[in-house]
């Protein structure tokens, strides 16, 4: 059982609440006629004759009954000698409870949705604008099976092989407190917290970091020939050579498709509701530009993605306090979060080395290490193109080699080579 203390940012940011802090906004053409480039740090509030009504401000509210996050974990493994190596089967599981979250509990239209206000745009609490509520409503489930086979000195030729395959499934209703995914889709660009702060279960789906299949295989080999030859020239020139390689391959990262037509005032966009079956994975083949490819074709009419505006950023409720709520205008089931999967990933690293025995105590090794030896670029879903209301084409696109600087992914997948030497004693 592991516990995680509530980290400082979640609670310490309460210092930004009134009366110590207050944040106001000035919009050109609404609050003041225009805004030039200012030379004063106070901007439009500098000088005299500037007035601004002090309107409602935002609040960072903390759940007074917030609990410590914790996670029980369990595992079982069985090892069995097979031939010259060891075969292992392992299972691991974990369940996250009371995980820390942030969600807006005072969206515009909440008053009309939950309290039946005649002005549907009213908030629940008219004294504030957005309320970032910090609480513990997150939860997660993880299960994994691991198969491993490892053998050293295969056939007495100095060959070592290790193969490791993992199948896993991670589900949660929030993958990080600040919704800042590092899976290449950056869900934080479209959502803060939950779609509906009063129904965290609606967000339950594949975790942002869920990788269903992963295989890693490594090989190391030091040639046995001439290693102990009595001929010094043969021993130094032909003995002591070796190589190693690591091959990694995995399935793609999950992502969601959003529909920001009905985004709420808390900065969250609801998920797009597909009018019919849509492939959950695609093939990044049709080029759309330099290093840019169509990946999943979405149903469309005249080049515009179909069924826009069907998702509700705030649910439509017939009763008070979250009763009788629907989440789509058409009555279609609300989609599961992270139900789409991006392109897979693979990479090969290698190293070559030569060892010279100088004396009984000292040895010298020269190494050439090559990362991404095949100079292979993987493809990644373009997270800037996941809002159907602003898609230029009815396709989810993928970029080659992380062209768009996707968070959590390498920005440079070119081959890298480095040389080194080390003295052993």
pLDDT at 25: 65
Terminal CA-CA length for the chain: 43
Question: Backbone phi, then psi, for 94, in 5-degree steps?
Answer: -155, 155
- Assess contact for 219 and 227: CB atoms under 8 A: no
DSSP letter at 382?
A: -
pLDDT at 405: 47
pLDDT at 358: 82
pLDDT at 400: 81
Domain boundaries, the chain: 65-276+306-375+403-409+416-424
- Assess contact for 89 and 248: CB atoms under 8 A: no
In a structure prediction context, what are the per-residue pLDDT tens digits for the chain, which is 425 residues long? 999 988 887 788 888 888 888 876 676 776 778 888 889 888 877 877 767 666 678 888 899 999 999 999 999 999 999 988 999 999 999 999 999 999 888 888 888 888 888 888 788 888 888 888 999 999 999 999 999 999 988 777 778 999 999 999 999 999 988 877 655 455 556 878 888 888 899 999 999 999 999 999 999 998 877 666 667 666 677 778 899 999 999 999 999 999 988 877 666 889 999 999 999 998 877 788 888 899 999 999 998 999 999 998 888 887 666 677 889 999 899 999 999 999 999 999 999 999 888 888 898 999 999 999 999 988 888 888 899 999 988 999 888 865 554 555 556 688 999 999 999 89
pLDDT at 305: 95
Locate the DSSP E strands across 263-390. 287-289, 292-297, 300-301, 304-305, 311-317, 325-328, 340-341, 345-357, 363-371, 379-381
Strand bridging mode 304-305 / 325-328: unpaired
Locate the DSSP E strands across 159-298. 159-172, 205-206, 213-222, 241-250, 254-255, 287-289, 292-297
- Paired with 147 in beta bridges are 89, 165
pLDDT at 181: 62
Q: Of 20, 13, 31, which Cα lies nearest the Cα of 131?
A: 13
**Which tokens go with 12?**
């310490």
Say what the pTM is.
0.85
């Amino acid at each position: 059982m592991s516990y995680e203390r509530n980290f400082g940012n979640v609670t310490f940011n309460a210092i930004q609440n009134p009366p110590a802090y207050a944040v106001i906004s000035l919009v050109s053409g609404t609050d003041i006629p225009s805004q030039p480039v200012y030379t004063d740090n106070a901007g439009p509030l500098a000088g005299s004759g500037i007035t601004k009504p002090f309107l409602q401000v935002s609040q960072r509210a903390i759940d007074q009954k917030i609990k410590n996050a914790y996670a029980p974990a369990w595992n079982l493994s069985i090892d069995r000698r097979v031939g010259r190596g060891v075969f292992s089967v392992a299972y691991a599981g974990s369940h996250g409870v009371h995980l820390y979250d942030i969600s807006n509990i005072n969206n515009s239209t909440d008053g009309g949705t939950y309290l039946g206000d005649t002005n549907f745009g009213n908030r629940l609490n008219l004294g504030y604008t957005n309320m970032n509520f910090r609480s513990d409503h997150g939860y997660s489930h993880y299960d994994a099976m691991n198969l491993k086979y490892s053998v050293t000195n295969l056939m007495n030729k100095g060959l070592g092989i290790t193969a490791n395959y993992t199948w896993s499934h991670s589900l949660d209703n929030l993958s990080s407190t600040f919704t800042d995914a590092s899976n290449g889709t950056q869900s934080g660009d479209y959502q803060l917290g939950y779609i509906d702060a009063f129904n965290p279960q609606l967000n339950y789906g594949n975790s942002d970091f869920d990788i269903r299949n992963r295989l890693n295989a490594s090989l190391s080999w030091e040639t046995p020939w001439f290693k102990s030859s009595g001929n010094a020239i043969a021993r130094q020139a032909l003995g002591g050579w070796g190589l190693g390689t690591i091959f990694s391959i995995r399935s793609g990262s999950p992502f969601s498709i959003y529909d920001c037509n009905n985004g709420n005032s808390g900065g969250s966009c609801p998920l797009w509701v597909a009018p019919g079956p849509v492939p959950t994975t695609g093939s990044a083949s049709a080029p759309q530009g330099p290093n840019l490819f169509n990946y999943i074709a979405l149903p469309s009419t005249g080049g515009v993605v179909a069924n826009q505006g069907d998702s509700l950023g705030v649910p439509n409720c017939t009763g008070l306090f979250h009763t009788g709520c629907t989440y789509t205008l058409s009555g279609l089931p609300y989609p599961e979060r992270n139900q789409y999967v991006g392109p897979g990933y693979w990479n090969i690293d290698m190293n070559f080395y030569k060892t010279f025995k100088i004396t009984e105590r000292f040895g010298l090794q020269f190494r050439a290490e090559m990362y991404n030896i095949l100079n292979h670029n993987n493809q990644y879903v373009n997270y800037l193109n996941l809002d159907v209301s602003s898609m230029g084409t009815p396709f989810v696109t993928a970029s080659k080699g992380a062209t768009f600087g996707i968070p959590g992914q390498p920005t440079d997948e070119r081959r890298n080579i480095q040389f080194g030497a080390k003295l052993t004693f």
